Structure 1
Amino acid sequence: MMKLKNLAIASACAALLSACGGGDGDSTSAASVKQLYAQTNETNNSVLQFDRNPDGTLAPRGRIATGGKGTNGVNYFQHNGVVADALSSNRSVIVSPDEKRLFVANAGDNTVSIFNIDRKTGELRLLKSNPTDGIRPTSLSLNDDILYVTHQEGEKQLGAYKVGLNGSLTKLGDYATLPGDALLTQVEVSPDHRSVVVNGFLDAVNPRKPGSTIMTFPIHADGTLGKPTSTTTLGMGPFGGRFGNGKLGAVYVTAEAVSSSLSTYMLRDGKLEGVSGPIASTGQGAPCWLVVTPDNRFVYTGDGSGAVSLFSLDADGRATLVNATAAEEPPHVSGASKTSLAADAWISADGKFLYQDYFGADKIVSYAIQPDGSLVKVGEQAANTETHVSLQGLAGI
């Protein structure tokens, strides 16, 4: 990817759209079999299921149809071209905190699939593929039995849905965020269960205007949302975001693709306030995805240049760049991407392993996290998607 400093903002955003699009472990697994899940985002969408071995390596378990359709690598914001990162989002695949259910966004037919997870065997059973009444659902977040979903088109791009015991979704409401058809990339429920946070990577699509807004919605007792407050971001183009854990549960960390930076915020009284940043990811471009270790010591960002960058967090939630290239992989030689595009990631609940999607290389790589945060590659597994670039989402138990 061309360095942003050499591009005008409009053309930078166009390039970044093909370079950006999630989940890290935040619960203690009770499953006998450790699992990892991604989605193929193919026309007939499927979940890729892997067993997680004790040494962090992966063993393919199979493909399970979602009952919905993906985009097969087609990116709406890139003139419907087939490119790496077709969904331009974080968290298209999530696991419930109790690790009993798996949720997958099917952007090709505007549905969300819900699976039951057998916690002893890891076996998946599709309950239902539900229409959302929105256009291209791409990011998911769960709060008890309420699912929040962002969509890529429409005047009201954020939806709230009650999850039924049978896997059904009942719509509770939809909400306006930025002006219609903005590119929303991340929805996240705060650890205190009081707020829903939405990142706006582009404030407008035509003409493309870089985003500088994070919206925070109060959650009512019934799961519906109140009037949002807006925070102007420290950097430009907020893409992925994660809250810290435990004592840092009010700290929100954001990767800012347009300014190639990372910033941290504190959630106070339903509004985000800047803590540190923008901290440049030196030598890398378009950090979009990120995960936080369970002990809050480290943050890893994945970016459009195909690199994983390492940041540290202190006790006050301030971030520092440690290594701009903690890991990287080459692109798939026959793929449609010029970079491997380090994207969605997930960290095991014990903090020992980082699992990293490389969309442009059509694979998932396993890393052992060292005491100083450095990464040692322990294995990889090919996704073998139809287009070699449609891999999306990552979550595990």
Structure 2
Amino acid sequence: MSNEQPPPPRHGGHLYLQTNEVRNAVIHYRRSTDGALTEVARIPTGGSGSGGFKPISGQPSAPNDFEGAGSVILTPDRRFLFATNGGDNSVSSFAVGADGGLTPLDVQPTGNPVTGRSGTAKSLAYSPSRRTLFVLHAFGPDHVRLMSVDGDGRLSVRLERYSVNTKDKPDRVATMVTLSPDERFLLAGTTFDQPPTANPDGSAILWVPGPDGAPKSIASNEPDPDGLVVFPVSGDGTLGAASFHDGGGGSPFYIAFLHGRPDTFVLGEAVGDGIVMGTLDGDGGIGIGPLVTVDTSKGKPSELCWLAVSPDDRTVFATNFGYSDVSSFHIDGTEIILAKDPACPPVPGDGTFRALNGTVSSGPSDNWFSPDGAYLYQIYGNASALVGYAVQPDGSLEEITRVAIPYNSPQGLAGV
């Protein structure tokens, strides 16, 4: 008689991706119980994306346009969906119907002007108890802007503005914001302490001469351990003074709280090539565990950026932007263990894009875990593909669906 437990039931649902085209739109997919995706509609946001243009490097077209995450989010009650429009620095809101369909409600500027070819609004976090939307921009000094959300999902920009800069780092590049589960703290990730200059192929130069003439990394948190930024959140949604913490590795890019442990999160280190586990105490203090890295024999950095945590908090999937693949880690209490590296074969792009380590990459970016823990969905911008995987018990991934998406520009995934 077998003691093996039957697999949990699988459920269908909906998935949303923003095209980030100049005429931006959100694509609505229906997810079947076997994980397959079917496109239902493309709903214009009423705002402008970057159209593939990458402001941080000046490349005319490249994946991961804004070096960020969380550009499409759903409210916890699933009534509303919000999406950034990075090209013109605005945010759009939609009503979510019982059938998963989206109805446009509003589009409003973030309050940050656009200078040059594109803006950089790119990451969102929402506080339902305060009806406040936090909007992060890649470039400052006003990295974080606030919007109020009324009961009908309409938006109004607020005057408050906040920075992730420090006195000696006035030009930092931010990546994403996330709200602690109790809504008391807003956490921001960073990637560079100053905008990088570019190689002839458009890839970023990570080293500059230091005060003593020796090479100095511009990756945040290297060498100064201050790459993770924490803001206390007041009852009206305003933010208190920022505190700066060790992010555990170079470029603490992505922050994901565990579902069942609201004081615990994992951090993806884009230049540190791995993930760490962190804790957040009631005063906003941060504790950081050891860095667990992927195999970097293909070259450094791996640009491990995006994370997806399983519903049972036992598995973390990490996207390696530079390697065109995904790695998996297992969580055992307070310990992180590398599980499958890589967890899936690399997905090749069209051969035109090179990552920071010089490898030809398809530039995978945002990912999303289905609530039943059965499927992981991954954007491969330079391959014009959104790929769905069936999650295996050992942490490996088996491709089960693939749909075509616009070239290079898409970012952001949210779903139910």
1:206 deviates by: 5.7
Aligned residue among 159, 170, 181 for 2:157: 170
Q: Does 1:307 pair with 2:313?
A: no
Q: C-alpha distance in 1, partners of 2:102/2:314?
A: 33
1:273 deviates by: 3.1
| Inter-CA distance 38–293: structure 2 relative to 1 (3 Å threshold) | same
| Inter-CA distance 343–79: structure 2 relative to 1 (3 Å threshold) | same
Matches within 5 A, 1:1-397: 34-118=13-97, 120-134=98-112, 135-144=119-128, 145-164=131-150, 165-171=152-158, 173-178=160-165, 179-205=169-195, 209-212=218-221, 213-246=227-260, 248-283=261-296, 285-304=302-321, 305-316=323-334, 318-333=335-350, 336=353, 338-383=360-405, 385=406, 388-397=407-416
| 1:57-107 residue CA offsets vs partner (Å, 9 max, x unmatched) | 101112110100000110111124311111210111111111111111100
SS of alignment partner, residue 46 of structure 2:
coil
Q: C-alpha distance in 2, partners of 1:221/1:128?
A: 25
Q: C-alpha distance in 1, partners of 2:257/2:288?
A: 13
Structure 1 match to 2:212? none
Amino acid at match of 1:364: L
| Inter-CA distance 315–42: structure 2 relative to 1 (3 Å threshold) | same
1:152 deviates by: 2.1
Judge which range, 356-365 or 50-59, deviates more. Answer: 356-365
Structure 2 match to 1:16? none
**Greater percentage in helix:** 1
SS of alignment partner, residue 47 of structure 1:
strand
| 1:294-313 residue CA offsets vs partner (Å, 9 max, x unmatched) | 11000111012111000111
Tell whether the 8 Å contact from 1:99 to 1:117 is kept in structure 2 after alignment: yes
SS of alignment partner, residue 77 of structure 2:
coil
| Inter-CA distance 64–334: structure 2 relative to 1 (3 Å threshold) | farther
Tell whether the 8 Å contact from 1:300 to 1:309 is kept in structure 2 after alignment: yes
Q: C-alpha distance in 2, partners of 1:191/1:68?
A: 30
**Alignment TM-score, normalising by the size of structure 1:** 0.86
Q: C-alpha distance in 2, partners of 1:112/1:231?
A: 29
| Inter-CA distance 374–74: structure 2 relative to 1 (3 Å threshold) | same
Tell whether the 8 Å contact from 2:86 to 2:120 is kept in structure 1 after alignment: yes
1:360 deviates by: 1.7
Q: C-alpha distance in 1, partners of 2:352/2:43?
A: 24
**Greater percentage in strand:** 1
Amino acid at match of 1:391: P
Judge which range, 123-132 or 270-279, deviates more. Answer: 270-279
**Alignment TM-score, normalising by the size of structure 2:** 0.83
Structure 2, gaps ≥5 residues long: 1-10, 113-118, 198-205, 207-217, 222-226, 355-359
Higher-Rg structure is 2
Percentage of matched positions with identical amino acids: 32
Aligned length: 360
Amino acid at match of 2:249: G
| Inter-CA distance 334–45: structure 2 relative to 1 (3 Å threshold) | farther
| Inter-CA distance 33–169: structure 2 relative to 1 (3 Å threshold) | farther
Judge which range, 56-65 or 171-180, deviates more. Answer: 171-180
Tell whether the 8 Å contact from 1:292 to 1:298 is kept in structure 2 after alignment: yes
SS of alignment partner, residue 390 of structure 1:
coil
RMSD of aligned Cα (Å)? 1.8
Q: C-alpha distance in 1, partners of 2:184/2:102?
A: 30
Tell whether the 8 Å contact from 1:265 to 1:272 is kept in structure 2 after alignment: no
SS of alignment partner, residue 139 of structure 1:
strand
1:166 deviates by: 4.4
Tell whether the 8 Å contact from 2:325 to 2:364 is kept in structure 1 after alignment: yes
| Inter-CA distance 272–310: structure 2 relative to 1 (3 Å threshold) | farther
SS of alignment partner, residue 308 of structure 1:
strand
Q: C-alpha distance in 2, partners of 1:360/1:39?
A: 15
Amino acid at match of 1:138: K
- Runs of 4 or more above 6 Å deviation: none
Amino acid at match of 2:219: P
Structure 1 match to 2:224? none
Tell whether the 8 Å contact from 1:73 to 1:390 is kept in structure 2 after alignment: yes
Amino acid at match of 2:374: K
Q: C-alpha distance in 1, partners of 2:281/2:106?
A: 37
SS of alignment partner, residue 343 of structure 2:
strand
Tell whether the 8 Å contact from 1:183 to 1:202 is kept in structure 2 after alignment: yes
Amino acid at match of 2:367: A
SS of alignment partner, residue 360 of structure 1:
helix
